[in-house]
Structure 1
Amino acid sequence: MEQLKPLLLDESVPVHPEHDPRHPLVIFGDHRFCAGECLTVHRMAGPHMHSQVELNFVLSGQMTYWFDGRELTVNEGRLCLFWGMIPHQVIDRREETTFICLYIPMSVFLGLANLERFRDAVFRGAMIEALELRPYDRDIFMRWRDELLSGDKGLAEIVRNELTARVLRIERDGWRDLREEGSAIASFNASESERFDHIERMLRYVAEHALEDISAEDVGRSVNLHPNYAMSIFKRAVGHTINQAIVRHRLDTAQSLLISTDLSITDVSFESGFGSVSRFYEAFSSRFMEKPTAFRRRMRSKGLPPA
């Protein structure tokens, strides 16, 4: 199925989720700060995924996401942040709702020091909402968007520094998980940039190959690390094991397929990378506390038809 293939992009070309009509969508290759061109919020045809951390600043109106099996609403004047690899879809919005959408490379996010609980919450699927906003946030987010879209590399580097500082302030000033969950993990020293690169590359490898028959050892070898060492630094940074990350990506893909296609449960299980239907049922029911058929029926009852 063509829509199931990851969209592999040249690293020099920034691409945004709204630029490609295929769903579910996974974006790889763009590791720079970038901005969405569209200010108007539209309902999305289906859930998609991408590799960066995404920030949404709602300028006007109200938007509702389907996010990892939940419906989460972000109101006017609010700022939220989440990992794009969590399947997400705008399922509703008030007419003429507008927002600014910015993307942060995973390597930058991993490199932020002293953000243990914050970073862990993001990797575990939190939608972070900033508790404190400033009167100038609206204008500065608009300026960041315009400067990123200008293509000026010098301005992009300035935005990189300013937006990184803004994320640090979210953690310092206070935030909440719209799902009301959280946990904590150990941190890396700011000087451990090589490990950040390894972790980002492992995350990308999982995202690109999780639907294949891969193991934690394969992920470690993909970055030329001993499997035990790779598993150790991965768990320390992300908060769960490589094997858990592989299963999670398969389940996230399965969720998207259950909503956005009419594939049979058997086909969904194999398209999602599970070697058997029984293993798929077991993993899905364990994480989501309901069977795939019940999940699809419940989501369709909320008015989410196939894309």
Structure 2
Amino acid sequence: MDVVELTLPTRAIYQPGASSVEGLPTALQMFHNRPPIMLKPHWHAQVEVNFVVEGSVHYIMGDHDLTLNAGELCLFWGGQPHQLDDTSDDVLYAGAHLPLVHFFRLRLPTDIAGRLMKGAVLVTSATDEADRVNFARWYSWARHGSTAQAQHAVDELLLRIERVRFEPYRIVGECENGRESEASDQQSSRAVARICDFIAANFMQDIDSMDIAAAADLHPKYAMSVFKKSTGMTMNEYLTLLRLSYAQAHLLRDGASVLQVAMESGFGSLSAFNKAFRKIAGKSPSDFRREGRVFSAITPTSVEIRAD
């Protein structure tokens, strides 16, 4: 009797890495792939753009679920812990991770930024065949094209996102006070973009709100006020989120101690790092790393989603 050996298909599992969205919190990254599922929530300091080319994906977004089907495009704030926990077998999706410095330069409806920062998701079905073609081309140019092609891809992507304001869209998963978000005018958005520029370039350094305001050429009280109104976060909270995103990815690096990661990520002490990490992840950095290594050991496939 012949014995037939069967090879069972495996699902790719997502793990943060040094070159992933978490490890590069200030980079604009594009993706176009069959998404790996997440065994636990993650977070990052960019606004996420998802376009479902084929199939469907299911997200756990804080306290609500979201299913996106082929032809739907969404925007959400990645600083809210979220988990892509299921997909259809034929799924293909595309999109990008936008640092806040890019997001606050977009010409979107004035209330959108505040509502997304409070956990809402913008979803639109107003897409077409051109989106299928363009998202694939933008990813190809960003990953394999010249510098000029990569920049052109980014510019086209940002214009495509801005087109949302001319078409039907819906806001889902909005918290009770989400509609109370104050609209950001152009002057406020420019101020927030300058603040984000400086924080992105210096988040691993010993900086505070006074340094940030001075670098953005703003009065400290105005800088703190306009950033809070526009993002729902204080400048220090955003600074901490960038550091935590970076640390989340580097905790799984071989040979790096928790203390080393804390210092490299810009935290002044191990206790401050542990406190901040536990607040967003619900567990200590050591436990997070231990669980991550267990997942790596039991899953055969790990995928990073990024474009160089």
Q: Same fold (TM over 0.5)?
A: yes
The answer to whether 1:292 aligns with 2:288 is no
Q: Secondary structure at the match of 1:211?
A: coil
Q: Distance in 1 between matches of 2:100 and 2:275?
A: 31
Gaps of 5+ in 2: 1-16
Q: Distance in 2 between matches of 1:96 and 1:39?
A: 14
8 A contact 1:199–1:234 mirrored in 2 = yes
Shift of 1:92: 7.7
8 A contact 2:53–2:132 mirrored in 1 = no
- Identity between Structure 1 and Structure 2 (%): 24
Counterpart of 1:15 in structure 2 is none
Give the alignment of 1:197-276 within 5 angstroms: 197-259=190-252, 263-276=256-269
Q: Distance in 1 between matches of 2:253 and 2:65?
A: 16
Counterpart of 1:142 in structure 2 is 132
- Equivalent residue for 1:174, pick from 170, 175, 196: 170
Which one has the largest radius of gyration? 2
Counterpart of 2:94 in structure 1 is 100
Gaps of 5+ in 1: 1-19
Sort the Cα spacing of 1:61 and 1:299 in 2 relative to 1 into closer, same or farther, 3 A: farther
Counterpart of 1:128 in structure 2 is 121
Sort the Cα spacing of 1:74 and 1:269 in 2 relative to 1 into closer, same or farther, 3 A: farther
8 A contact 1:86–1:252 mirrored in 2 = no
Q: Distance in 2 between matches of 1:255 and 1:107?
A: 21
The answer to whether 1:22 aligns with 2:16 is no
8 A contact 2:195–2:212 mirrored in 1 = yes
8 A contact 2:55–2:89 mirrored in 1 = yes
RMSD over aligned Cα atoms: 4.5
Letter in 2 for 1:273: G
Q: How many residues align?
A: 269
Counterpart of 2:8 in structure 1 is none
Q: Distance in 2 between matches of 1:105 and 1:248?
A: 12
Shift of 1:216: 0.5
Q: Secondary structure at the match of 2:261?
A: helix
Sort the Cα spacing of 1:140 and 1:50 in 2 relative to 1 into closer, same or farther, 3 A: farther
- Equivalent residue for 1:80, pick from 74, 81, 84: 74
Shift of 1:214: 0.5
The answer to whether 1:187 aligns with 2:171 is no
Sort the Cα spacing of 1:279 and 1:189 in 2 relative to 1 into closer, same or farther, 3 A: closer
Q: Secondary structure at the match of 1:240?
A: coil
- Equivalent residue for 1:278, pick from 262, 271, 276: 271
Q: Distance in 2 between matches of 1:163 and 1:298?
A: 36
